[in-house]
């Protein structure tokens, strides 16, 4: 209970004072019950404003503070620190939001002032009833989990491990490397992608503080910031990784050699049923594909599995079973990447109708010397060199019927491929680029674009209406909006630059992680500008394309950022728990368990006392203070600190 309150009204420049009569509000507040001092200042969040509050606390021996200013989401944290250093418990502070909920929303000064008075009146009523709270301490597990072994996951793992933290890196596929491993060269510097990626992959493999869990999936995340319990499913490779040397003899021996579509080559090449996805794979171990291997699908492989025969190390083991392991970590960095839109959904572009309509990633595999054609550019249908290649940009991107957003890498990746194709095919090839706008926004990008524009390439500004099969070629009608002319392009190979979309299992995985998604399905950052790597779930950070499309440069920066955000938690021995959590009036609790059923954080359990009576108990480290149990409790036994019925109800009464 506080009976010596101070009220501090902020002008917020003119954000508040232009619509609310601050002088009148200050005068009004000074007459409220329990208020001993009432003051205003232009910027209460400034140093001078903070000192005004601190000095008043001392001078008037305040035991509670009400600040009428912007939303508590903006400055509650700041002001808690101010009152705490001034000598008042941080939770004896109440904010009256007279900016977002009053001055910004209204223009009638008289009525807005009236409303501000009501908000302050309610806040003062609640402040009189607030109790001081102490934050509990939580021990931190100083280890980190990184989910996804693409360039973002690799960078985040290395940064964290170099900082002295143990890192578990979980990768779903048999090898780390991700999308970047599939690329031939990177824009705008034309660095060989695998040449700059492989050293980092090796570093991950050899780092004493990184434990790589490849071909594994995170299936359960429980706990909270500082103390997460992770369940990981380790899929059986049917190969003993201790014994396998990665020699590849089994791959050569497999009966299904060159008969199974290669995922790594985006369907452009074939592999065996036992395989290593690409030559630089980490770990360099074989994996048996359970969907195709004859032993695993039919239980029989000719007269006996040839791979077993070929393996000198005796590493193949068809009896391997799926395993589940549990680890404890203090923070999580999510770097699960993106999927490429399947352009079949845009029927007009012919991806479903012609083998000679491919995507940029497929073209990347054709260009790559480790790709299915050894780096030769050949039309998939005829196996011949194309005389004309046409790029169509923004396929599904910036398109209300598919994806509203820009893929951010499409323009540059197409321009890069134009350069590489010119390099490989010389002037024998005619290249057309159908673009919407060329977005060359990064460092060195515009310069690269200029270089390509000078390279005898036809640029058409517009979106083709259709890619049409003709006898021995493809034909495209395009209306060029720079010249207002309709062109008919005859071409041999069409490269679609498709939209980047969230991973197919993003919805499901967001639920496992308890993180939010934005409307487009990518994982949602806590603030688009100021907390881009944080999620709303404490201790879980995001980086790379799982948050939204971005290029390698931005992905690596963001991964380092996320690692450093995670390190701020891991480098502490203990964290302060949020004290505004649920608590139980044990005498009033009937142990009905309704609260347990609504709690999404598994923070409540029923306990039995020695006298045989049961009641609910809240694990304060797990409770997020969402209030769901408080609303659900039929007897009122469940209360939330700082928002108890006896504090909220008088506030409501006073306000209205």
Partner 1 sequence: MKKYALYPGCVMSTEQYAYEMSVRESLPLLGVELIDLQGFSCCGEPLKSVNQLLTLYLSARNLAIAEKQKLDVFAPCAMCHLALSECKWVLGKNADMKKRMNEMLATEDLKYEGTSKLVHTVDLLHDHIGIEEIKKHVTKPLKGVKLATHYGCHIIRPSEIGRPVDSEHPMKMERILEALGAETAEYPEKLDCCGALLQINLDESALTKSGQKLKAVQEHGFDGLVDVCPWCHKMFDARQTKAGETVAAKLDLPVFYLTQLLGLAFGIDKKKLGLELNLSPVDNIKLGGK
Q: Which residues in this chain contact partner 1 in the complex, by CB under 8 A?
A: 346-348, 353, 401, 466, 468-470
The packing angle between helices 151-162 and 193-206, to 10°, is 40
Token pair, residue 191, equals 């660095």
* Residue 283: CA count within 13 A, CB half-sphere: 25
| CB closer to partner 1 out of 106 and 468 | 468
To the nearest whole angstrom, how small is the minimum distance from the Cβ of residue 347 to partner 1? 4
Between 492 and 534, CB nearer to partner 1: 492
Instruction: Give the alpha-carbon dihedral of 222, 326, 174, 500, to 10 degrees.
Output: 10
- Quick one: the chain helix, strand, coil %, rounded to 5? 30, 25, 45
- Residue 263: CB minimum distance to partner 1, A: 27
Residues 541 and 334: their CA atoms lie apart, in Å, by 6
Closest approach of Cβ 465 to partner 1, in Å?
9
Q: Are 231 and 332 in contact (CB under 8 A)?
A: no
Distance CA 173, CA 364 (A): 20
Residue with Cβ nearer partner 1 (346 or 366): 346
Closest CA to 350 of 503, 473, 480: 473
Between 346 and 513, name the residue whose CB sits nearer to partner 1.
346
Nearer to partner 1, 303 or 401 (CB): 401
Which of helix, strand or coil describes residue 107? coil
Least Cβ distance, residue 494 to partner 1 (angstroms): 14
- The tokens for 89 are 């418990």
Length of the chain: 656
Is the distance from CB of 497 to CB of 394 less than 8 angstroms?
Answer: yes
Nearest distance from C-beta of residue 476 to partner 1, angstroms: 12
Minimum Å gap between C-beta 470 and partner 1 is: 7
Q: Indicate the residue among 470 and 530 with the shorter CB distance to partner 1.
A: 470
**Least distance from partner 1 to the Cβ atom of residue 480, Å:** 21
**What's the rounded Cα separation, in Å, for the pair 320 and 236?**
6
Closer by beta carbon to partner 1, 400 or else 609: 400
Of 24 and 475, CB closest to partner 1: 475
Kindly give the residue spans of alpha helices, DSSP state H, lying in 223-331. Answer: 249-253, 294-297, 306-310
361 dihedral zone (left: phi>0; alpha: psi -120 to 50; beta): alpha
**Smallest distance, Å, CB 268 to partner 1?**
24
C-beta of residue 387 within 8 angstroms of C-beta of residue 430: yes
Q: Smallest Cα–Cα separation from 70: which of 43, 92, 49, 51?
A: 43
Shortest distance in whole angstroms from residue 343 CB to partner 1: 12
Q: Contact, 301 vs 142, CB < 8 A? A: no
Residue 140 or 493: the one with the smaller Cβ distance to partner 1 is 493
In angstroms, what is the minimal distance from the CB of 430 to partner 1?
Answer: 22
In the complex, minimum distance from the CB of residue 352 to partner 1, in angstroms, rounded to a whole number: 8
**Residue for token pair 């728990």:** 577
Residues β-bridged to residue 70: none
CB of 353 to partner 1, least distance (A): 7
Q: How far is Cα 495 from Cα 363, in angstroms, rounded to an integer?
A: 7
Sign of torsion over alpha carbons 184, 185, 191, 193: negative
Minimum gap (Å) between residue 387 Cβ and partner 1: 20
Q: How far is the CB of 348 from partner 1 (least distance, A)?
A: 5
Least distance in angstroms from the C-beta of 469 to partner 1: 5
Both tokens of 174, joined, read 């048999």
Q: Mutual orientation of helices 410-425 and 360-367 as an angle, nearest 10°?
A: 30
The least distance separating partner 1 from the CB of residue 490, rounded to whole angstroms, comes to: 13
CB-nearer residue toward partner 1: 110 or 348: 348
User: With contact defined as beta carbons under 8 Å apart, do 138 and 577 qualify?
Assistant: yes
For partner 1, give the closer residue by CB, 19 or 388.
Answer: 388
Q: Which is nearer to partner 1, 348 or 508 (by Cβ)?
A: 348
C-beta closer to partner 1: residue 319 or 471: 471
Give the C-alpha distances (Å, rounded to integers) separating 183 from 107, 173, 204, 279, 495: 56, 17, 20, 14, 15
Please report, in angstroms and rounded to a whole number, the separation of the first and last CA atoms in the chain. 22
Nearer to partner 1, 1 or 352 (CB): 352
Nearer of residues 166 and 468 to partner 1, judged by Cβ:
468
Q: For residue 226, how many C-alpha atoms fall within 13 Å in the half-sphere facing its CB?
A: 14
- Alpha-carbon distances, residue 194 vs 177, 243, 267, 454, 461 (angstroms): 9, 27, 20, 28, 33
Beta strands in 130-224 (DSSP E): 137-139, 144-147, 167-170, 185-186, 191-192, 210-213, 216-224
Question: Comparing C-alpha atoms, which of 526, 530, 527 is closest to residue 540?
Answer: 526
In angstroms, the CA 233 to CA 215 distance is: 9
Cβ-based nearer residue to partner 1, 47 or 400: 400
């Amino acid at each position: 209970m506080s009976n010596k309150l101070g009220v501090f009204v902020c002008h917020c420049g003119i954000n508040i004072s232009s619509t609310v009569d601050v002088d009148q509000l200050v005068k009004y507040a000074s007459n409220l019950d329990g208020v001993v001092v009432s003051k205003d200042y232009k910027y209460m969040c400034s140093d001078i404003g903070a000192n005004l509050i601190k000095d008043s606390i001392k001078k008037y021996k305040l035991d509670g503070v009400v600040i009428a200013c912007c939303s508590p989401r903006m400055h509650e944290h700041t002001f808690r620190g101010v009152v705490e250093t001034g000598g008042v418990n941080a939770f004896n502070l109440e904010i009256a939001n007279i900016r977002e909920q009053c001055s910004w929303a209204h223009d009638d000064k008289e009525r807005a002032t009236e409303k501000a008075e009501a908000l302050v009146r309610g806040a003062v009523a609640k402040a009189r009833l607030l109790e001081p709270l102490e934050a509990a301490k939580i021990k931190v597990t100083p280890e980190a989990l990184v989910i996804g072994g693409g360039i973002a996951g690799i960078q985040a793992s290395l940064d964290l491990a170099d900082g002295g933290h143990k890192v578990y890196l979980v990768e779903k596929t048999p090898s780390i490397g991700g999308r970047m491993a599939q690329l031939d060269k990177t824009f705008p510097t034309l660095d060989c992608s695998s040449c700059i990626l492989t050293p980092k992959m090796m570093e991950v493999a050899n780092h004493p503080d990184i434990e790589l869990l490849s071909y594994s999936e995170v299936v359960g995340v429980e706990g909270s910031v500082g103390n997460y319990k992770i369940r990981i499913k380790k899929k059986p490779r049917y190969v003993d990784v201790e014994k396998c040397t990665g020699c590849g003899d089994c791959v050569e021996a497999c009966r299904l050699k060159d008969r199974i579509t290669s995922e790594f080559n985006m369907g452009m090449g074939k592999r065996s049923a036992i395989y290593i996805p690409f030559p630089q794979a980490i770990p360099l171990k074989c994996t048996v594909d359970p969907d195709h291997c004859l032993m695993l699908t039919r239980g029989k492989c000719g007269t006996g599995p040839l791979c077993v025969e070929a393996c000198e190390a005796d590493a193949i083991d068809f009896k391997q079973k799926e395993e589940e392991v549990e680890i404890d970590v203090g923070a999580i960095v999510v770097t699960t990447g993106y999927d490429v839109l399947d352009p079949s959904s845009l029927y007009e572009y012919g991806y479903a109708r012609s083998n000679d309509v491919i995507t940029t990633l497929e073209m990347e595999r054709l260009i790559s010397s480790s790709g299915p054609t050894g780096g030769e550019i050949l039309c998939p249908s005829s196996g011949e060199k194309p005389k004309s290649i046409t790029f169509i940009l923004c396929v599904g991107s910036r398109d209300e019927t598919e994806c509203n957003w820009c893929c951010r890498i499409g323009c540059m990746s197409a321009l890069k491929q134009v350069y590489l194709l010119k390099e490989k095919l010389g002037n024998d090839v005619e290249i057309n680029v159908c673009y919407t706008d060329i977005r060359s926004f990064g460092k060195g990008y515009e310069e690269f674009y200029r270089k390509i524009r000078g390279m005898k390439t036809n640029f058409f500004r517009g979106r083709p209406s259709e890619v049409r099969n003709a006898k021995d070629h493809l034909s495209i009608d395009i209306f060029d909006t720079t010249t207002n002319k309709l062109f008919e392009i005859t071409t041999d190979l069409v490269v679609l630059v498709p939209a980047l979309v969230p991973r197919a299992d993003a919805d499901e995985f967001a639920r496992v992680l308890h993180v939010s998604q934005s409307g487009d399905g990518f994982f949602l950052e806590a603030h688009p500008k100021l907390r881009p790597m944080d999620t709303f779930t404490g201790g879980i950070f995001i980086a790379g394309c799982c948050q939204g499309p971005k290029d390698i440069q931005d992905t690596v920066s963001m991964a380092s950022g996320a690692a450093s955000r995670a390190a701020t938690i891991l480098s502490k021995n203990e964290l302060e728990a949020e004290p505004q959590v649920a608590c139980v009036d044990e005498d009033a609790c009937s142990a009905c368990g309704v609260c347990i059923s609504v709690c999404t954080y598994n923070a409540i359990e029923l306990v039995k006392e020695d006298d045989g009576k049961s009641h609910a108990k809240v694990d304060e480290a797990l409770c997020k203070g969402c209030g769901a149990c408080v609303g659900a409790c039929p007897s009122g036994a469940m209360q939330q600190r700082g928002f108890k019925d006896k504090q909220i109800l008088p506030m409501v009464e006073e306000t209205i």
